[in-house]
Structure formats: structure tokens, C-alpha cells
Structure 1
Amino acid sequence: MSSITLTQEQVSLYHKQGYIIVKSFCTKPEIEKLYTTAINDNAMRNNALDLNDQSGKKTKLSLWFTPGNDVFGYLTRSEKMVAAVQLLLGNDAKVCHYHSKLMQKEPKVGGAWEWHQDYGYWYKNQFMFPDQLISVMVALTPANKENGCLQVIKDSHKIGRVNHGFAGEQVGADMQMVNNALKTMELVYAELEPGDALFFHSNLLHRSEANLSDHPRWSIISCYSLQSNLAYNETSTAWKTPVDVIPDEAILHWDAASLSNADFLKKENDPALKETGWEQEVNQ
């Protein structure tokens, strides 16, 4: 059985404010193994995408779709992860893994992420039901104000999807609506210790500052959908394939393959980075 079980209070809080933080979701040995793999596995570096923010600073990420038999696949397929996602999405449909990404914000040079909703990206993949999409960020290093931790606008998932346009090479939310949200709702700095997990709704407005500190900020973000959700412009098949759930102990104790076998996203294949016409409607 999973050692992590969400309470009904946590589930209710997720629906109320659009996110929850679960402390020590991963153990220290699990995080050490994940972070060591992230640094040493060449597949991560070879498949990293550089995305410029509006100032030209770069944020690196490596994104893959199918969770495999590597240590990150074991985390995304773990019983504790899938059970938590199932509880928060609250539907009888099976949990599917849409994609995971390793976020790599290096000291002094790691760029910002502009205000956005994840569904601002995934709308272009034509997912039908944003309430059936969720992101889970697990901190591999400390995440704090100094190194550009995630900022969220509490309750902003209740706004629904706002218009998005390009902000640098990223997709950013209409700043008029963001500013309205900031005047109406609470800005929260989601500071995390290694192993803490942030679960957040696909329509929660969030951003992060550039990393101007002397310390890296690395995290793994796994995104999930329910099999009852439909995507009409998504070429991968992971989004509609139920997760093959495995015991939590796999993260530490099972033999792990290299990430070189993963189906990484290529920048030119991402629909979210292509013009569709409606981007011009927003105010940046």
C-alpha cells in the first residue's frame, strides 16, 4: 500500500483554492536518486528545450510523454502519485499520464516563466475538460523566493480559461485578467523543500521569477488527465493510456533504465508554440 494518503480536508482544499502542498511526498533517499539521475543521465541534457522569457533569459526543460521503466517513470507510475491524482480529480475514469517534464533553472541564468495557466497551453491540444487535468510538481532542490519558486494566485482556477498569447517563446496569459486576479485574490509563493509536492489545477494562474540566486532550482512536473477527457489535437497516445501503476518501492529498489528510451518532445512539434490566430487577442 502507498504510504501517502490524502485526507478529505486536502481534497476539499484543492477544489477550494486550486492547489495543495503535500510535505515530504517523496523521501530524502528518493529525491537523492531522482536528482542524481537528472544530473547524470545524458538523455536529459540532449533533449532539453530552451525557452526564452520576455527578457531573453532561458529556462531549460526536458519533456516526455510515456512513463517508462526509468526512475522518473517509476515516480509518475507510483501508487502514491496515481492514488493522489485519482482522489483529486474525483472521477471513476482511469488516470492517464499526459507528460512529465524536468525543469532546470540554473543559478543566475535560469529564466522566468510568465503568468499562465497550464490549460492555456493545453487548449491548443484541444483537451475538452480542464477539470480532468492536473499537474504535480515535486521539488528536487529547495524552491524559495530567492531562486524563483512558483507563485500561484489562490482560487484563480475558478476564473476559467483566460486568453493566452506569446510572451517571448512562452505562452502567457492576458495581463489584464492576471492583474484583475491579483487585485481580487491572494498571491502565494509556493516555497518547497526537496520532496514536497505541489498539486495544482490546470486553470490555476501561476508564474515563477528568474533564478538570480547562487543555487539551482530543479523540479519534476508530471501532468495527468483522466481517460474520459478527450484531446483532438494531440499526437501522443499517453494521454489516453491508463497508467500502469507500480508499488512506491520501485523508485528506490527496482532496476531503472536510462531515459534515453523516452519519447521526448521536440520543440518544433509542440502545438502550444505555434500560431493559431487567437493569440493576437490578448494584452501582454
Structure 2
Amino acid sequence: MEYEYQFENDNFVVTDDMKSKFDRYGGIIIRNFLSKEEVGHIMKSLESEEFRKYMYGVDDGEGRKAHMNIWNQPGDDITGMVARCDKIVNTCEQLIGGEVYHYHSKLMGKPPKEGGRHLWHQDYGYWYENGCLFPNMMTVFMAMDKCEKINGCLQYLPGSHKCGRIEHHRLGGQFEADTDRVNEIQKHCTLQHAEMNAGDAYFMHCNVLHCSSANLSDKRRWALLCCYNRADNNPVKEHHHPFYTPLIKVRNEDILNCKKNIDVDGKSFMPLGVDKTSLLQTVDDN
């Protein structure tokens, strides 16, 4: 795939080719972006009982739930080091063209056999409703488990960000992009499945149309997503995510050096019922 790259820890830089492909396709995939050691260290935090108690379910309109845990501030724990590290933040700033701040992060969980689907949508379909005037925003999707078709990997339409914002409507606990419009766009933008190994990352523009199927396999599918807004795109209305907050970067090695599994006070986890663009529900089993 022409917008796919390999991460080389000592030599990684955003090249002109990466920026060109990001602008053309709305995203780039970087393989081995997180090392096996980093993924294992991050999972110590994500799998902790204290972290998992903030997980909620989002109805997918078919009786299943896509599990989610959302926090607004990165904090000083392991996942905070991920959201603040140079290799993520600097890459986002070079791809989106300016200083960024942490808009929120989330753990997206699809348990075996019952993990719900995510409907076709743009992230900006949600974030537009939050008073963000420009689509100068992006998501870094990092696979924590092997993501493949069988367990509901991400599906996306490369180049669809050039179509602008699509109208969305509510279905279940999610927003769904206009299906007729999506069907027409698929005639021009070829559907891709983001099959990824743990540690691979997809840097995605907020207007890229994407979805994922339900997980009916016996394999769990977890992903860590860090979302960023450009500093000059401060929201114009009060909502459930942060206004511009300067981001204090850390070194890449601080991910593995961090010994704090979870920083509850520093993360500002979103409680049930706060997010008006998603209808969150309690889940019994994460």
C-alpha cells in the first residue's frame, strides 16, 4: 500500500512523501509504531481493574455494544505518556500543519463473540457538533490486539476526507453518516480494511469515512485512540471535551519508563451520560 510505512525508532521523520500521501488519502499507516515492549507495558494499564471500571457500552443498533472508555486529559500515567510522546505529537503536528493539543483519548474494545459494530461515520461528524469550526483534527488509531477482518478491524475509504463533512443522524447510541452519500462515495473511494498487528498505527484525518463490523470471532479486538485538535481551532462552545490546553510533550522512552499504571485524577474520565453525541450504557463484562 503506497501510504504504508515502517517505523524506525532512530531514523523516523515525517517525510514529504508521508505528508503528500496523508493529504491525498486522508491517512497513513505506520507499522511497528509501538514496540512489543511498549504494547505490553500499555496493556498493564488498560487491563487494570481500575481502568476497566470506566468502560461503557455504545449501542450499535443491532443489540450489541461497542465498548469504550474516554478520557479528556492525558495525565501522567502510561497512556498519558503515549498521548504526549514526541513520535505521536510531532507526527500529528507535521501532518495536520500546526501545533496540536490533546482533544481526548479512548480505549475501543470489542469483546469476543459480542463486540458491536461501529457505523459509517467521520470523527468530524461528531466533533462538528462540539463547536469545532474547522476539520483540522485527527485520530491516531493504535492496535493493541491483532486487528483483522474476522474480529471487526477498521474499514475506511481513502480519499473520502476530500468530500467534506457528511450529514449524520443518530442510530442506536451512535451517529451514522448519510448512507446514500456513503454508497456513492464508495464508487470513487475504494473500501480498505485496516488489518493491523499490535503496535501498528493509523494516522487518520477527521473527515475520513470509516466503520467496523461486529466482532463475532473468539478473538478480542482492543485499540487505543488518541485524538488531537489543532491549537488554532479552539471550539466555540462549551462541550464535553477540552478547549485548547497546551500539551507538554515527553520523550518516546518515557512510555516504558513510566511506572504509574493509571492517573485517575489527572485524566478526567468521562462519566456516563456526559457525552451528548454518544449514548453510553453500562457494561457488565469488559
TM-score (norm 1): 0.91
How much has 1:235 moved relative to structure 2? 3.8
Corresponding residue for residue 18 of structure 2: 10
* Secondary structure of 2:186 counterpart: helix
Corresponding residue for residue 79 of structure 2: 72
Corresponding residue for residue 42 of structure 2: 34
Q: Distance in 1 between matches of 2:241 and 2:123?
A: 19
| 1:1-284 aligned within 5 A | 4-40=12-48, 42-91=49-98, 94-130=99-135, 132-235=136-239, 238-261=242-265, 262-273=267-278
Q: Distance in 2 between matches of 1:147 and 1:85?
A: 28
Cα 1:121–1:96 shift into 2, 3 Å: same
How much has 1:237 moved relative to structure 2? 6.8
Runs (5+) with no aligned partner, structure 1: 275-284
- CA RMSD in angstroms comes to 1.6
Identity %: 36
How much has 1:232 moved relative to structure 2? 2.1
How much has 1:144 moved relative to structure 2? 0.6
Q: Distance in 1 between matches of 2:66 and 2:221?
A: 11
Cα 1:253–1:125 shift into 2, 3 Å: same
TM-score (norm 2): 0.90
- Equivalenced residue count is 270
Q: Retained in 2: the 8 A contact 1:51–1:60?
A: yes
Kindly report structure 1 stretches of 4+ aligned residues shifted beyond 6 Å.
none
* Secondary structure of 1:137 counterpart: strand
Amino acid at match of 2:23: H
* Secondary structure of 1:184 counterpart: coil
Amino acid at match of 2:20: S
* Secondary structure of 1:104 counterpart: strand
Amino acid at match of 1:178: V
* Secondary structure of 2:197 counterpart: coil
Q: Retained in 1: the 8 A contact 2:58–2:278?
A: no
- Structure with the larger helix share: 1
Cα 1:144–1:78 shift into 2, 3 Å: same
Runs (5+) with no aligned partner, structure 2: 1-8, 280-286
Moved more, 232-241 or 75-84: 232-241
Cα 1:187–1:170 shift into 2, 3 Å: same
